[in-house]
Amino acid sequence: MKRPTLSRRAVLRGAGGIAIALPWLEAMAGGTRVGANARRFVSVYTPGGSVIDNGAGENRWRPTGTETEFTLSPILAPFEAIRHKLLVVDGLSMNSAVGEQHQAGIIAWLTGTTQQPDYGYSHGPSLDQVIASIVADGNVLESLQMAVRWGTGKSHGLLHPINVVNFENNATFDPIPPRLDPQAIFDSLFGALDPSTNSDLAARIARKKSILDFVDRRYSSLGQDLGARDKQKLDEHLDKIRELESALDDMIVPTDICLLPERIDTSDYNPTTGLDSADDGSVLNTQTDEAIPKVGRFMMDMLVMALACDVTNVASLQWSDTEAKHTFPWLGLDQHHHYYQHDGNFRPMECEQIVTWYAEQHAYLLQQMDLVDLGDHTLLDESVVFFGSELAQPPTHSKANMPFLLAGGGGGLRGGRFLRNEGIADPSHNNLLVAILNLFGDERTSFGDPAHCTGPLAGLT
């Protein structure tokens, strides 16, 4: 299936001696995995777009230059070291984001569908869930959703159209709540690797199997006695129980690339502080805010290892939600992000500071993925990483010229380039979504709302 490619070690060995054949080098260029479908998908959401216009007509996000010869912008400068595996995708519009300005944006980002009426959710599954059904391969989790400092503002810590990125690939496209507690994430992903928590592991697994087996049979038989809609509700629950059951059989085993991440102390971070939030962001938890950089890094480290250990092939990370009503003490910013976006008038300097910091975090994630050596390629090389937001320009909520980034080499994705997409016939971002899906070997030509999709965006490979 997979075309053999030259491992990094092989190149290094070869470099000391004989000349290396040119086609092989091309196969390695930029980490592109020509001919092999992408295996992993990572989506990273950041709130509040970027600074497409700083108020003086200057785009602080857009690189300058040509597709292959370009200079990264101030906001994208943190990607310099990994730019050979980065594809800057400019010029697209989220035309399917119809509904409440922020909510419709976060809903459309991965679904390409409009918001349901009355502040509802999406009209379709999110891209990651569709990809998960393609690439799932006996993993502990079909997909993993994590969020840092989530549930701010008027969601009061509850699942709300302002804070959902992922939607089930089922009949009702249910919103998927992300995991919030870094310690709980560590325990459920890596507990089995942690010698301090896995005493009597075999006995515990045996007990859990008996329990889930009994519970499974009860859900099945009860559903038979109920009406169709109630049965459907129980069946959906049963599906998830079976996922949990099979996960007990898919315990991860440590290898030289699957390593236990370092457990960071996050006792100063309240993962459910959103429960105390106020609509307007007036309720602050600056201690928790202070811990965001540390928690974010811990979550990224766990995300990388979740992939490296084959816990999952599909992961999402949300940096907050569209309200983004938390402060940035480590940047010296004591108001919330939404305040700088428009609540307190648009403040381009502060917005730029924030989105540049997010760029630094994302560059770290990409570099960590690129450090996982899978022999002839890296983890990043077989992945597609999609970085986006719910809008482009904060004060206007404009969704034209979305600040999208792709990275990786999965499915032949070619990095080291800047796709300006100026003047293309249809800049709708749904075309990007279906083009990403194609990288995973799925050949459909439309994704999301067909009214906003005219076919795969050209130029990713």
By CB under 8 A, the count of residues binding other proteins is 82
Pick the closer one to other proteins by CB: 84 or 208: 208
Considering only the stretches 12-20, 394-402, 418-426, 442-450, report the one whose residues sit in contact with other proteins under the rule CB under 8 A. 394-402
Establish if 151 lies at the interface with other proteins (CB under 8 A).
yes
Pick the closest to residue 79 from 319, 385, 299 (CA basis): 385
Establish if 159 lies at the interface with other proteins (CB under 8 A).
yes
Query: Interface residues for other proteins in 266-285 (CB under 8 A)?
Result: 272, 275-285
Residue 71's H or E segment, with its range, is strand 70-71
Residue with tokens 């496209």: 173
Query: Interface residues for other proteins in 320-379 (CB under 8 A)?
Result: 335, 338-339, 342-345
Considering only the stretches 15-23, 316-324, 392-400, 406-414, report the one whose residues sit in contact with other proteins under the rule CB under 8 A. 392-400
Between vectors from CA 457 to CA 451 and to CA 461, what angle results, nearest 5°?
155
Per-residue contact track with other proteins, 57 to 86, x per CB under 8 A? ------------------------------
111-126 b/e (C-beta count within 10 Å ≥ 16 → b): bbbbbeeeebbbbbbb
What is the number of other CB atoms lying within 10 angstroms of the CB of residue 220? Answer: 13
Residue 63: Cβ-neighbour burial (10 angstroms; 0-12, 13-18, 19+) = buried
Query: Interface residues for other proteins in 204-243 (CB under 8 A)?
Result: 206-208, 210-212, 214-215, 218-219, 222, 225-230, 232-234, 236-237, 239-241, 243
Residue 300's H or E segment, with its range, is helix 292-308
Pick the closer one to other proteins by CB: 70 or 404: 404
Establish if 249 lies at the interface with other proteins (CB under 8 A).
no
Establish if 52 lies at the interface with other proteins (CB under 8 A).
no
Per-residue contact track with other proteins, 420 to 459, x per CB under 8 A? ----------------------------------------
Strand partners of residue 419: 89
Per-residue contact track with other proteins, 102 to 131, x per CB under 8 A? --xx--------------------------
Residue with tokens 């809903």: 107
Residue 15: Cβ-neighbour burial (10 angstroms; 0-12, 13-18, 19+) = exposed
